[in-house]
Structure 1
Amino acid sequence: MAVFTKVLTNTDVQRRFSFPDGCLPALPPFRGCHAIVLQVKDEAGILWNFACTIRSGMTPTPVIVSGWIQFVRSKELQIGDVVFFYREDDTVTGAHYKIEVKKNSTLTSVNRKVL
């Protein structure tokens, strides 16, 4: 089941990934800490370890601050590409997280014309 879908912004591809509002309950519990390691498998079965922190404020927002840029570079992600984030619950092993990316075909065709 998809937890969220997000169109990537400049900040997402250049610095860090901010989860959309309301996603915190779907993540592993932080148990009083401000950071966790979030293990996520991509569509190729590669396991990524993302350092996820919570930004303080009126609405705590989870943010991936480490490991994300390597993911962006390996997938050659750009502004406008879409990320699908899934959580699958297993009664024996607990929650498993998956990430899938879809390239923005409009952007890709525009880039091809420019080249």
Structure 2
Amino acid sequence: MEVANKELKRNDIETYKCPIPTVFLQHVDFPAGLHYAYLRFKDSSERLRVIRCNTRQVGHPRPELGAGWHLYVHDYDLRVGDRLVLLAEEDPIIGSQYRIVARRRIIRLFGAEVWGDLPRVHY
């Protein structure tokens, strides 16, 4: 089930963090007293990635992907305008897990955009 997506901006690509939609927070269990959690994502090549999700300690939570994000950007050669999709999946054995997918606009056809999943470039 898709829980969040966003079009990547220059800052998302060039910095070591990526703000994500607040709606994603309802799918994250933060350890008691902490404003961050290390989340396990499977990417499109089925590699398990650990990416830190941070929130602000005061005011609006504003979640962002932190440590581990920049390596994902590098491995998938992400660019401005690509789309980041975060999915939550229920596994009956291990519980909830996440999937991270990068998509790039391939073509605009009859007014509709066609997007394709990006393969991993760097191993």
Would you tell me which structure has more helix in proportion to its own residues?
Answer: 1
Residue 29 to residue 35, structure 1, CA distance change in 2 (3 Å):
closer
Distance 1:64 1:81 in 2: 16
In structure 1, the gaps of 5 or more residues are 107-115
1:73 aligns with 2:92: no
Measure how far apart 1:43 and its partner are.
Answer: 1.0
> Which range is displaced more, 59-68 or 86-95?
86-95
1:2 aligns with 2:12: no
Measure how far apart 1:69 and its partner are.
Answer: 0.6
AA of the residue aligned to 1:37: Y
Distance 1:18 1:30 in 2: 20
Q: How high is the TM-score relative to the length of structure 1?
A: 0.83
Deviations 1:20-53 (A, max 9, x none): 1222111233422122111100011011111221
> Which range is displaced more, 2-11 or 88-97?
88-97
Distance 2:21 2:58 in 1: 15
| Alignment size in residue pairs | 106
Measure how far apart 1:104 and its partner are.
Answer: 2.8
In structure 2, the gaps of 5 or more residues are 108-123
AA of the residue aligned to 1:105: I
1:96 maps to: 97
2:55 maps to: 54
CA RMSD of aligned residues (A): 1.5
Percentage identity across paired residues of the two chains: 26
SS of residue paired to 1:23: helix
Q: How high is the TM-score relative to the length of structure 2?
A: 0.78
1:113 maps to: none
